[in-house]
Structure 1
């Protein structure tokens, strides 16, 4: 292993374990860089925090796309294909690592890294709940410290060499992608492919939420994006109803109503979800609110209430029969 070498950046030291091949790649804006990484503490045991090889999926970042941990772009730009190197970085470069790690872990667990259904940003959520959801990351968040990154550079692709996914787009490109994803979600919904439709709606929501974080809350540009987000969440909830995910519908619609109490469709979908889980009183309250907000829906609401009362009556008769047989 070579001695530590400088990278012309304060607070970073590099040691090469295995030299790569060829010339330094061209790390131009928009290039996709694929690499494996291991993150370690600087303690006596070199405690491993994250390891992409254990997850089984290499890391990908897009150069110039404002990745939270900016120092990684600098580290990667010093490497050749196939090179394995260790980088020591002081706390000025590692402060945001717990947030980055949380997102990567959520992706590995098959969860949404952006928590798009929440109406506050990731930092606000962190301070509200005092936790990132992982004990070791909470500790690292409270006491920032230098970290060691062991990186193996696998490949560098120019923007023309790969199809960029929505997370890799800039803000303008994300906004252009939203109506396409929205339309595709609607088409899949009509075909009865509800799970596929939710994926399209979710992807569009992530694009909008990422753009919205750059705007000031409740100002005109932010509100325009919020209106688009609300529409997509309601479409998403319609899919969930068809998929019989009633409690998730209740969660999302309740969140929407708390922030936007005039959304008729949110009350209507929540009423239907409440009806499906036998919350008759809550369902009727929501149906009444729908009519208060939009009297033109009274006919449809009356039909829904009749269906609910019939189902409740059938349920009551079934329960009476069950208890009768039990004690006969």
Structure 2
């Protein structure tokens, strides 16, 4: 079947490659749509950019959930279950595709799709050029082009037909689930289940960061979310310390300190991490900053410095003994 149709949105053409079955499903807000996709350049070779079948996992989006590539909702809403269709989309619809593709590729590689420790809003990231980590996506970012999307609709589940994970929540629902995840993380931490606690904190941070990208940087709503995210990030770092992921602690606390140099707890946790990786000067500097920000931490800092002194005294003795031979 090769029917070429003009869809409602300007700059879109649809060609049905394989007809589906039944009526068009109800694509109501909250419905989860599962589909395969293939993205191609509009060149003579029809160069493939992404293919979910090659990645081995179909795509899932939730209708009305502010998916960055919103044109996909319109495309899918014209399809029947089992249908395969090719959509030509002009650049007015494809400008954000490199960002979406990056997230999907990171998921396929088993990585975190959201760089949640970066403290800048999503729109700023979009228009401030930096490498996405993939050469082909960098080219598309610098010079957006029309694209072909070949979609195969697999399933449409209504909101009551599936268990909604945090990524499938609306912004309002995300904000409601954050304190729940925070409390669960605290409880797991007290039980010494640090890996599980870290996962709860991380999920809460991602929820906040997704909401925060829709706010204007440094204004009151953004700052409120930032403060909540920083608190959770520091809890996450406490788990990382227990898990001996010291360099990651240094990375996340440094991100906070660079943006908010008055956060005492960030200096304290970074100082503890520096001790563990034998960065003596950096550790002492951080603990000194802790006392500047909160003199009430004198007892805790004194304890850490005592450990630091014993640690490095022993280290120097070992080094001297080694060179004797």
Distance 1:129 1:283, change over 3 A: farther
Instruction: Please name the residue that 2:253 is paired with.
Output: 253
Question: Structure 1 residues 123 and 131 mapped into 2: Cα distance closer, same or farther (>3 Å)?
Answer: farther
Q: 1:8 to 1:262 in 2, by over 3 A?
A: closer
8 Å Cα contact 1:12/1:90 also seen in 2: yes
1:204 aligned to 2:204?
A: yes
8 Å CA contact 1:126–1:132 kept in 2: the answer is: no
What's the secondary structure of 1:153's corresponding residue? strand
The answer to which of 119-128 and 315-324 deviates more is: 119-128
After superposition, the Cα gap between the structure-2 partners of 1:144 and 1:69, relative to the gap in structure 1 and judged at 3 Å, is same
Find the counterpart in structure 1 of residue 216 from structure 2: 216
Report how many aligned residue pairs link the two structures. 325
Given the alignment of the two structures, is residue 264 of structure 1 paired with residue 264 of structure 2, yes or no?
A: yes
In the TM superposition, 1:126-205 aligns within 5 A as 127-128=127-128, 130-205=130-205
Q: 1:125 to 1:14 in 2, by over 3 A?
A: closer
For 2:93 and 2:217, how far apart are their aligned partners in 1?
Answer: 28
Structure 1 pair 128/93, CA: closer, same or farther in 2 (3 Å)? closer
Partner of 2:228: 228
CA RMSD of aligned residues (A): 1.4
Q: Aligned partners of 2:204 and 2:226: how far apart in 1? A: 13
Partner-residue secondary structure (3-state), 1:17: strand
Q: Does 1:18 align with 2:11?
A: no
Instruction: Tell me the residue number matched to 1:292.
Output: 292
1:136 and 1:148 mapped to 2: Cα distance?
15
- Partner Cα distance (2:225, 2:110) in 1: 26
Question: Which deviates the most, 54-63 or 207-216?
Answer: 207-216
CA contact (8 A) 2:121 2:214 kept: no
**Higher mean Cα deviation, 241-250 or 119-128?**
119-128
Question: Deviation at 1:82?
Answer: 0.8
The residue aligned with 1:80 is 80
Uncovered stretches (5+) of structure 1, i.e. residues with no partner: none
What residue number does 1:301 align with? Answer: 301
Change beyond 3 A, Cα 1:96–1:125:
closer
Equivalent residue, structure 2, for 1:6: 6
CA contact (8 A) 1:94 1:147 kept: yes
After TM superposition, give the deviation of residue 235 of structure 1 in Å: 0.4
How far the C-alpha of 1:308 sits from its partner, in A, is: 0.8
C-alpha separation in 2, matches of 1:211 and 1:142: 26
- TM-score normalized with structure 1 length: 0.95
Look up the match of 1:280: 280
Describe the SS at the equivalent of 1:186: helix
CA shift for structure 1 position 266: 0.7
Report the CA distance between 1:178 and its aligned residue.
0.2
Give the conservation status (yes or no) of the 8 Å contact 2:20–2:84. yes
Following superposition, the deviation at residue 129 of structure 1 comes to 5.1
Gap runs ≥5 in structure 2? none
